[in-house]
Amino acid sequence: MTPNSSSRRLGLWLVGARGSVATCVAYGLGALREGLIEPTGLGTEAPPLDALDLVPLDNLVLGGHDVTRRALTRTAGELARHGVLRGELLEAGSGLAGEYEARIRPGVLDDADVGFADLDPQAADRSGAPPRERVERLRADWDEFQAETGVDRVVVCNLASTEAWREPRPAWNELGAFERALDAGEAPPASTLYAYAALGSGRPFVNFTPSLGATPAALRALAEREGVPHCGNDGKTGETLLKTVLAPMFAARALRVLSWQGYNMLGNRDGEVLADPLHRRAKLESKDEALRSILDDPDLHTGVGIDYVPSLQDWKTAWDFVHFEGFLGVRMSLQLTWSGSDSALAAPLVLDLARLAELAAARGEAGAMEHTACYFKSPLGGGTHAFHEQVERLLEYARQRS
Amino acid sequence: MTPNSSSRRLGLWLVGARGSVATCVAYGLGALREGLIEPTGLGTEAPPLDALDLVPLDNLVLGGHDVTRRALTRTAGELARHGVLRGELLEAGSGLAGEYEARIRPGVLDDADVGFADLDPQAADRSGAPPRERVERLRADWDEFQAETGVDRVVVCNLASTEAWREPRPAWNELGAFERALDAGEAPPASTLYAYAALGSGRPFVNFTPSLGATPAALRALAEREGVPHCGNDGKTGETLLKTVLAPMFAARALRVLSWQGYNMLGNRDGEVLADPLHRRAKLESKDEALRSILDDPDLHTGVGIDYVPSLQDWKTAWDFVHFEGFLGVRMSLQLTWSGSDSALAAPLVLDLARLAELAAARGEAGAMEHTACYFKSPLGGGTHAFHEQVERLLEYARQRS
Amino acid sequence: MTPNSSSRRLGLWLVGARGSVATCVAYGLGALREGLIEPTGLGTEAPPLDALDLVPLDNLVLGGHDVTRRALTRTAGELARHGVLRGELLEAGSGLAGEYEARIRPGVLDDADVGFADLDPQAADRSGAPPRERVERLRADWDEFQAETGVDRVVVCNLASTEAWREPRPAWNELGAFERALDAGEAPPASTLYAYAALGSGRPFVNFTPSLGATPAALRALAEREGVPHCGNDGKTGETLLKTVLAPMFAARALRVLSWQGYNMLGNRDGEVLADPLHRRAKLESKDEALRSILDDPDLHTGVGIDYVPSLQDWKTAWDFVHFEGFLGVRMSLQLTWSGSDSALAAPLVLDLARLAELAAARGEAGAMEHTACYFKSPLGGGTHAFHEQVERLLEYARQRS
Amino acid sequence: MTPNSSSRRLGLWLVGARGSVATCVAYGLGALREGLIEPTGLGTEAPPLDALDLVPLDNLVLGGHDVTRRALTRTAGELARHGVLRGELLEAGSGLAGEYEARIRPGVLDDADVGFADLDPQAADRSGAPPRERVERLRADWDEFQAETGVDRVVVCNLASTEAWREPRPAWNELGAFERALDAGEAPPASTLYAYAALGSGRPFVNFTPSLGATPAALRALAEREGVPHCGNDGKTGETLLKTVLAPMFAARALRVLSWQGYNMLGNRDGEVLADPLHRRAKLESKDEALRSILDDPDLHTGVGIDYVPSLQDWKTAWDFVHFEGFLGVRMSLQLTWSGSDSALAAPLVLDLARLAELAAARGEAGAMEHTACYFKSPLGGGTHAFHEQVERLLEYARQRS
């Protein structure tokens, strides 16, 4: 029997713990507890999801892995200067943030990413260890976190920078082969190693990035075998969200989209990493998939440009141009300009997903959490990309469990 | 038993028969029959609505009322110069358009609109007759149309320019009082007179404009009494369509919309009429209703500006600015620029609605066609304004009847 | 002989002393002295204007009039929350701001504005006095300011909210008649009373608002008679600046502008005041004049909409749509979206103008400062509205005096 | 002595004679002669340039080179379908266009461009000949054109697609070395070969593209030696025009531009060619130069993206995002969306430049035509990129010669 949520305690483990999103999660949680902010952006705090038996925000404890030693207060100070964290929230959240930072452990970096970060020597050391040993050390960190804090369950959430795209390997398709490769010292991408460590030790895994994570069949089989829920990939926070909201409108009105061209400017670490072609490839594939799936027209022309514009700092500006044809062959257009703080958009979704993953685990649900599709650019459970249909699926899940 | 659609013939009677939308309906129908255009924009020609037993486009016959004598070829020529009707469609549709124009009869103008149009003397004459006589002459036109063309049923669709807003009268609330007022020579708005004439003679009525039409309780009671289906008000073709697609996204993500400001520029006759404050009032009420209903926040600030910019001709450019608050109280924005031909957007919806009204009548369905809510800014059947939920309702209707 | 600038000291007297622009002037001056900010936006600190013998920023002393008693720290706190004043500038400027606030005296409100502001009882008292007495009290404040601070000269700069538009009166056309009307107790608009008080006591007057100020012929004659320089009206900070930069391009390329439609959203006190039609009239006349003058086409369609959108706070978002015709009669468009802090844009121009007015006075130049046209929407000295030609005039002035 | 313009006749020879710009030149000239269009976009037909002793438009005769055999009527038909050429202009211009097409000769293709065009076998043949022979055949075509039509002078204007960027060679720096390389069979880029053939035979050369043309020192020396005027490079028609109009405003206001990011979408042949990285390189260098020159800030971040979006056809949509800092370090933004027909923007500039080149030649002016800087993205004569200063230079030239 599932114990009542109010008595359950959740350890939320953030990979990429010193980054902007994680920092917003920590300071936001602090500000919510102090009553300084409304739970804006948190779907799980609003009807109808708030009727679910979710673990209360007060019962969350944070920990995490990171490959750098950059102080959390430095990230927070930058977010304040960039207009994301108000000064008073910086102060209010400092207690919770301090406790959280004390629980951050050196993480594991993807081989291809060496050189893209100011690496912590301890993290470098861990990243160089044989893959099996890396897995063991991650699990040991989680065990220790759980022992120290007494949380009932740990949910691991990947918020680290996008990894470089890699050619898929046959061993990723089958769990036995995957584990033999590990034994042989062949390391999968770091995000997949985290997923393996988490799922294999019964811990739900949320992949909020376009990195590989638990996408390979081997990892999905592991989740099923261990009876653990997981979800991903790539949080749907801005431009792609708009695409999956608007494209179904064109379909419903039988209007023919000729071209859908998007241009993204990012100023944060994410933008810097995506300036590299291999890292960008992972991201772009995830961004382009939705439109093709919803509009289903072989002649559709799409394109997504990404540029790093440092002066934007934590802000992202996306411009979309939709060229479409209506009755009589008349050509018309829709343009969108989205200007938002990526971190402030992502952080509440991380909290929502952690709570939904905890609930799924508490109820014994295993495998891809199909009801979370509306949160992701490439939902692991598949299905439609149309946002409102995805939301309907989540509401249906909530109705059945409320 | 409903006869099979392929043997049914529909007379589509357009009020505002010489206007841009009606002209696009006529030339578009001609072009479709010649195979010169795809049925883009026509939801009833695409899955899943095409599975309904709808009257084929080939079985439509057009007629209409207008208060001016402006030649249809003049309107069509302008649409061609404005980039809406391609030259080859002008030629291809001239046959059908000529037959249609021969069936246009002098219409009835709203008292408040005298001076806003270059009035046909016959229409002026009719408009000055006692209301009961006006009704009889409209019905006589329809009877004659039906007799001449042999169509099985006539659907009346109001496409005339927006009427001036009027203070509601008590007599509009109850059918008996409404009819006594008519007997006493008190005329309701012209759109309502058309609705009365149509519904009272068993003809479905589609109000594609923000004018009063069949909105009053008296008219709704008439439709129920006579067992006739009807729908309206105000076709959802552009900016409001976008609002009802996007606002539910903000709600689903628990983002708080602070301000939603819209600015519309129109260059056609519609824009000219809306430059008048009383005519604009009717339009703006219809445009503002949806956001308040979906976002349900008493502090929400909304505004809609409309300006007449003649150089835009048949094109409309709308700019929307959405200011919203996310997690941590961070303020972000979304801007939209919509640039489309109002007539080309409206015309296929008119064809869709005429076919759906014919089907409803053929199946004996009476009263407000609630399943057509997705077509209107102020759906007569009420219900949510959220576009994707409205579409779901239409699909549900289609599933039940396919 | 003009004493060297470094030994001159300037008293800058701000009317609307507790408003956002004045607050930015005060805190900005403080931050500049502390070396916390660069002189960005200050043309007089950059080449070639920095070669002029201008009074150093360190030699400026601030004072002012206001009709409310709202604390400057409250305005500053709001500007900080709205992202205009960074937290550290708030602290750094508090010393200078405190001294400035101690020198703010109760001002004179325009009769038509009673009810638009939370009036200070002392200001109400002054505003009710006979016009001649009001003038005397203003001058007494300036004399006292000069005596206390020892500044060599006082420049009065009007930053108060836009006054309501008023029907021009014959007495405004001639200085004798103007003074007789004053004697008879007939008060001109408050901005004109300030101009009269300043110019008549030999003090330069800068009208940074669209209010009447020193526009009437009577006031211009006064400036000439007293040998005092003055300038205005209405600082060119945003949308109009863009218009006067871009319109000459269309002219130079022989492209024909068909329509230039602007839509402005403001969230500050300025926006609130402009929500009133009479106040808006003054503003719109000033905004529309430039385009007609530059493009010189009787068929040109222009429009300017202004809406108050409180959530924007100190920020202004303007959207412009330019519809133009090129070779072969092809119609094309340019759209602009300008998003800026009105106060941060205005404040450095106020400092520039005060220094330029001081220099003109020190050099014995009298009447309208024609070389400052590039700073204003409706330059008092007339001439072209084309921005780059106006700038050229200022540079020419600077070359002659450097 | 210069003969009066009205008795002079000009042969305008277009390289890229079957392309969109050349087609607009031909049909536009026809429409102007028939009085069907106004000379919108033609600066030389408006004051003050119309006071120059320019050759009348009626005295122009067209001829040209192209490497394909695509019929001019096909290009014109496409331009009509794309909304650039109105139907009536198509008919009106057919006479002039027919005569022009009869005078089009097979051109010379750049070696690197083989494969990018549907090559005319005769052009392929010519392109494969030794460089000296290619030059002779070009000159023979011009001699023949002149003999047949009796024009007094031929101006050669390059409108061909952008060539691939090439590593500069030492031989390009000195005329002797350049000619020895030609003798040795080493071909420069095709655009430079055209420039050599034209200038060396005393014919003015206008390079309207970013290709190399007469840029190398060797070619400039040739123009000086032969006493022939020439100008280029790359017509300033859209986004770059806006940049060079707006950037000086930021400079004049001492506002600091942090980032200026541009994103261009093109649907025509130009866009297709620019999808290739080497072709794009030539274009981007030309587009980026202006901002750096005007804003002169080493920290300025700029970027220009170009994407080929076929559905746009002859239309170009450019989006610019300007991020800037004002007083108090406040960050603000300006966004621009430019939507225009590239061909309709370019064609009148071609006519202007041809007439100005003819005048310069008639007056015996030699070398780079510095007064035409406002027409080019990379003016050969150097100088400021600020548009209004460039225009002032042209007006000064006109004043001296009127």
Residues D158 and D200 in one domain: yes
pLDDT of residue B244: 96
**Mean pLDDT, rounded, for D301-319:** 91
Question: Any chain A CB within 8 A of the CB of C40?
Answer: no
pLDDT of residue B287: 66
Residues D200 and D330 in one domain: no
Rounded to whole angstroms, the Cα distance separating D310 from D316 reads: 10
Rounded to whole angstroms, the Cα distance separating C363 from C359 reads: 6
How many CB atoms neighbour CB A33 within 10 A? 16
Residues in chain B closer than 8 A to A338 (CB atoms):
332-334
Residues in chain D closer than 8 A to B81 (CB atoms):
86
Rounded to whole angstroms, the Cα distance separating C122 from C119 reads: 8
Per the rule left: phi > 0, alpha: psi between -120 and 50, beta: everything else, C254 is left
Cis peptide before D233 (omega within 30 of 0): yes
Nearest-by-Cβ selection for A326 from B327, B337, B345: B345
At C117, is the pLDDT very low, low, confident or very high (cuts 50, 70, 90)? low
CATH of the domain at C119: 3.40.50.720
Answer whether residue D121 shows pLDDT above 90: no
- B331 to C311: CB separation less than 8 angstroms, yes or no: yes
CA atoms within 13 A on the CB side of B277: 0
Rounded to whole angstroms, the Cα distance separating B181 from A368 reads: 65
Cis peptide before B3 (omega within 30 of 0): no
Residues B136 and B206 in one domain: yes
| Digit-coded pLDDT (tens) for C319-378 | 999 999 999 999 999 999 999 999 999 999 999 999 999 999 999 999 999 999 999 999
Which other chains touch chain C, taking contact as 3+ CB pairs less than 8 Å apart? A, B, D
Examine the fold and report which residue of D341, D362, D381 is the final residue of a domain before the chain moves on.
D341
Query: Token pair of A60, please?
Result: 């969350």
Examine the fold and report which residue of A296, A318, A341 is the final residue of a domain before the chain moves on.
A341
Query: Token pair of B173, please?
Result: 């609330």
Question: Any chain C CB within 8 A of the CB of A86?
Answer: yes
Residues B229 and B256 in one domain: no
Q: Looking at residue C376, what DSSP letter applies? A: B
Answer whether residue B1 shows pLDDT above 60: no
| Digit-coded pLDDT (tens) for C271-311 | 777 777 777 776 677 667 889 999 989 999 999 888 899 99
Examine the fold and report which residue of D299, D321, D341 is the final residue of a domain before the chain moves on.
D341
CATH of the domain at A326: 3.30.360.10
Confidence (pTM): 0.94
Question: Any chain B CB within 8 A of the CB of D337?
Answer: yes
At B2, is the pLDDT very low, low, confident or very high (cuts 50, 70, 90)? low
CA-based nearest residue in chain D for residue A337: D335
- B87 to D87: CB separation less than 8 angstroms, yes or no: yes
Q: 282-321 in B: which are within 8 Å (CB) of A?
A: none
Count residue pairs from A and C with Cβ separation < 8 A.
Answer: 5
- D321 to A317: CB separation less than 8 angstroms, yes or no: yes
Residues in chain A closer than 8 A to B333 (CB atoms):
337-340
Question: Any chain C CB within 8 A of the CB of D328?
Answer: yes
pLDDT of residue B263: 93
Answer whether residue D268 shows pLDDT above 90: no
Residues C317 and C259 in one domain: yes
Query: Token pair of B141, please?
Result: 């036109």
In angstroms and rounded to an integer, the radius of gyration of the C-alpha atoms of chain B is: 21
For A112, D193, D211, D212, D357, the CA distances from D216, given in Å and listed in that order, are: 44, 11, 11, 7, 19
Residues D284 and D139 in one domain: no
Rounded to whole angstroms, the Cα distance separating D354 from D366 reads: 15
**Mean pLDDT, rounded, for D186-197:** 96
pLDDT of residue A275: 73
- How many domains, in total, are found in chain D? 2
Answer whether residue B30 shows pLDDT above 90: yes
Residues B22 and B120 in one domain: yes
Higher pLDDT, A394 or C109: A394
Q: What is the pLDDT along chain A (402 residues), one digit of tens a residue?
A: 566 777 899 999 999 999 999 999 999 999 999 999 999 999 999 999 999 999 999 999 999 999 999 999 999 999 998 889 988 899 899 999 999 999 999 999 887 776 666 788 888 888 889 999 999 999 999 999 999 999 999 999 999 998 888 899 999 999 999 999 999 999 999 999 999 999 999 999 999 999 999 999 999 999 999 999 999 999 999 999 999 999 999 999 999 999 999 999 998 777 777 777 777 776 677 667 889 999 989 999 999 888 899 999 989 999 999 999 999 999 999 999 999 999 999 999 999 999 999 999 999 999 999 999 999 999 998 999 999 999 999 999 999 987
Q: Which residue has the tokens 């701000």?
A: C14
Mean pLDDT across chain B, nearest whole number?
93
> Please, are residues D283 and D162 in contact by the beta-carbon 8 Å criterion?
yes
Residues B25 and B80 in one domain: yes
- Mutate which: C323, C330, C371, C387, vs D, most D CBs within 10 A: C330
Report the gap between the CA of A231 and the closest CA in chain B (Å). 18
Range of the domain at C312: 239-340
Question: Any chain A CB within 8 A of the CB of C170?
Answer: no
**Mean pLDDT, rounded, for D250-258:** 97
CA atoms within 13 A on the CB side of C201: 20
Q: Which residue has the tokens 């064609």?
A: D347
Three-state SS sequence of chain D = CCCCHHHCCEEEEEECCCCHHHHHHHHHHHHHHCCCCCCCCCHHHCCCHHHCCCCCHHHEEEEEEECCCCCHHHHHHHHHHCCCCCHHHHHHCHHHHHHHHHCEEECCCCHHHCCCCCCCHHHHHHHHCCHHHHHHHHHHHHHHHHHHHCCCEEEEEECCCCCCCCCCCHHHHCHHHHHHHHHCCCCCCHHHHHHHHHHHCCCCEEECCCCCCCCCHHHHHHHHHHCCEEEECCECCCHHHHHHHHHHHHHHCCCEEEEEEEEEEECCHHHHHHCCHHHHHHHHHHHHHHHHHHHCCCCCEEEEEEEECHHHCCEEEEEEEEEEECHHHCEEEEEEEEEEEHHHHHHHHHHHHHHHHHHHHHCCCCEECHHHHHHECCCCCCCCCCHHHHHHHHHHHHHHHC
User: Which residues, including other chains, have CB under 8 Å from residue A292's CB and lie 6 or more apart?
Assistant: A300, A302
DSSP string, B323-342: EEE-GGG-EEEEEEEEEEEH
pLDDT of residue B297: 92
Report the gap between the CA of C216 and the closest CA in chain D (Å). 29
Rounded to whole angstroms, the Cα distance separating C265 from C338 reads: 10
pLDDT of residue C121: 86
Nearest-by-Cβ selection for D301 from A258, A309, A337: A309
ipTM above 0.85, yes or no: yes
Answer whether residue D355 shows pLDDT above 60: yes
Q: Where are the beta strands (DSSP E) in B138-191?
A: 153-158
Q: Looking at residue A11, what DSSP letter applies? A: E
- Mutate which: C257, C263, C317, vs B, most B CBs within 10 A: C263
H/E stretch holding C361 reads: helix C342-362
| Digit-coded pLDDT (tens) for B193-232 | 999 999 999 999 999 999 999 999 999 999 999 999 999 9
Residues A117 and A174 in one domain: yes
- D319 to A317: CB separation less than 8 angstroms, yes or no: no
Residues in chain D closer than 8 A to C345 (CB atoms):
326-327, 332
Residues D139 and D55 in one domain: yes
Rounded to whole angstroms, the Cα distance separating C314 from C304 reads: 20
Nearest-by-Cβ selection for A28 from B248, B328, B345: B328
- B43 to A255: CB separation less than 8 angstroms, yes or no: no
Nearest-by-Cβ selection for A307 from D303, D312, D335: D303
Mean pLDDT across chain C, nearest whole number?
93
Residues C141 and C28 in one domain: yes
Residues D155 and D64 in one domain: yes
